[in-house]
């Protein structure tokens, strides 16, 4: 009964490796109990065997990665169909589901047509390629990642820049040049509401996003520039027109 129930949910190739592991484990027990004289070979772990991809799955994963590297954003399902000549959406969905289940991709934001994030191009890789939105003018009172705030998307290797990112903004102005943040740079931001003192943050102030160093005092907040030509912005902690959007985690300079 258990095997029949198990077979309904586990693909045949994974079931084969599972049973093989069980058999090897039983042999190992018999060896230590003295019933057999030959020590079994080293047990294969479920992960090392099951996480192997078929040739088709490898090709699709490689195609997605190349698409991201060339264009800066992930393909839609229709674009994957065109790349590999699939006639059915279901074929692509099935392959993507396998890649996601085995930890190669993530599709957290399924409402977005370009929701694929590459987590790994091989089992040992630590590369994390993530597609994040680039925000334009942020409307007051709306969620940060509301569709009307998004101008486009960018794919970044978070392991390369050594940071976590939820969204990006293009810097306007030169008030933060002392922190090596220049006009037209792209900053990667981690969404948060309670930064620490001296964090460089993005804040919404009177419907305008600003990048400054955060300093919290007893009854006020100072937004400190990193350019002597600019004065600090002093804000009352009860100011309803001020909110922290996130902490700057990385800067991408544009040449």
Domain ranges for the chain, please list them: 2-35+45-50, 53-127
Residue 134: closest CA among 180, 179, 72, 194: 72
Q: How far is CA 237 from CA 42, 65, 234, 241, in A?
A: 62, 45, 10, 10
pLDDT in tens, 129-141: 778 888 876 544 4
Spatial contact of 95 and 56, defined as CB atoms under 8 Å apart: yes
Assess whether pLDDT exceeds 90 at residue 173.
no
The residues with which 169 forms a beta bridge, in sequence order, are 135, 187
Of 175, 193, 216, 218, catalytic: 175
Comparison of pLDDT for 106 and 26, the residue scoring more = 106
Assess whether pLDDT exceeds 50 at residue 44.
no
- CA dist., res. 77 & res. 59, Å (int): 15
Comparison of pLDDT for 89 and 241, the residue scoring more = 89
Of 65, 102, 212, 247, catalytic: 212
Instruction: Sort strands 242-252 and 129-135 into parallel, antiparallel or unpaired.
Output: unpaired
pLDDT in tens, 231-243: 999 998 888 788 8
Q: For residues 32-61, give the mean pLDDT.
A: 62
Predicted local confidence at residue 88, as pLDDT:
86
Instruction: Sort strands 220-224 and 208-216 into parallel, antiparallel or unpaired.
Output: antiparallel
Predicted local confidence at residue 202, as pLDDT:
92
Predicted local confidence at residue 226, as pLDDT:
92
Top-confidence range, 31-35, 112-116, 137-141, 236-240: 236-240
The residues with which 196 forms a beta bridge, in sequence order, are none
Spatial contact of 221 and 214, defined as CB atoms under 8 Å apart: yes
Which token pair is 104?
A: 């190669």
pTM of this prediction exceeds 0.85:
no
Comparison of pLDDT for 251 and 162, the residue scoring more = 251
Assess whether pLDDT exceeds 90 at residue 160.
no
Predicted local confidence at residue 13, as pLDDT:
54
Predicted local confidence at residue 197, as pLDDT:
92
- Give the whole-number percent of the chain exceeding pLDDT 70: 70
DSSP code at position 223: E
Q: How far is CA 131 from CA 72, 93, 145, 185, in A?
A: 8, 19, 13, 18
175 is catalytic: yes
- Give the whole-number percent of the chain exceeding pLDDT 90: 16
pLDDT in tens, 176-200: 999 988 888 889 998 888 899 999 9
Predicted local confidence at residue 113, as pLDDT:
75
Predicted local confidence at residue 239, as pLDDT:
82
Spatial contact of 101 and 116, defined as CB atoms under 8 Å apart: no
For 143, phi and psi rounded to 5 degrees? -60, 145
Half-sphere exposure of 15 (CA within 13 A, CB side): 11
Assess whether pLDDT exceeds 90 at residue 39.
no
Q: For residues 218-225, give the mean pLDDT.
A: 91
Q: How far is CA 206 from CA 18, 120, 169, 242, in A?
A: 59, 41, 17, 7
Q: Which H helix or E strand runs over 47?
A: helix 46-50
Least confident of 20-29, 36-45, 67-76, 209-218: 36-45
Comparison of pLDDT for 219 and 51, the residue scoring more = 219
Pick the CATH number of 53-127 from 1.10.10.10, 1.10.260.40, 1.10.287.70, 3.40.50.150: 1.10.10.10
196 is catalytic: no
Assess whether pLDDT exceeds 90 at residue 66.
no
């Amino acid at each position: 009964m258990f095997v029949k129930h198990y077979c309904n949910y586990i693909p045949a190739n994974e079931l084969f490796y599972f049973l093989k592991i069980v058999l090897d484990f039983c042999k190992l027990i018999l060896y230590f109990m003295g019933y057999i004289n030959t020590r079994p070979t080293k047990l294969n772990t479920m992960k090392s065997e099951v996480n192997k991809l078929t040739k088709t799955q490898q090709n699709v994963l490689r195609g997605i990665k190349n698409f991201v590297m060339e264009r800066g954003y992930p393909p839609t399902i229709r674009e994957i169909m065109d790349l590999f000549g699939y006639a059915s959406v279901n074929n692509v969905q099935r392959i993507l589901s396998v890649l996601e289940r085995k930890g190669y991709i993530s599709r957290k934001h399924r409402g977005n047509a370009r929701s694929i994030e590459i987590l790994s191009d091989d089992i040992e890789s630590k590369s994390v390629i993530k597609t994040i939105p680039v925000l334009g003018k942020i409307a007051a009172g709306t969620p940060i990642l509301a569709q009307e705030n998004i101008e486009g998307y960018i794919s970044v290797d978070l392991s390369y820049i050594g940071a976590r990112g939820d969204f990006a903004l293009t810097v306007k102005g030169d008030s933060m040049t002392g922190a090596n943040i220049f006009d037209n740079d792209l900053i990667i931001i981690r969404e948060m509401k309670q930064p620490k003192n001296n964090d460089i943050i993005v804040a919404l102030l009177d419907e305008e996003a600003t990048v400054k160093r955060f300093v919290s005092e007893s009854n006020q907040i100072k937004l400190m520039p990193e350019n002597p030509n600019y004065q600090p912005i002093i804000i009352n902690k009860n100011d309803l027109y001020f909110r922290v959007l996130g902490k700057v985690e990385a800067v991408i300079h544009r040449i």
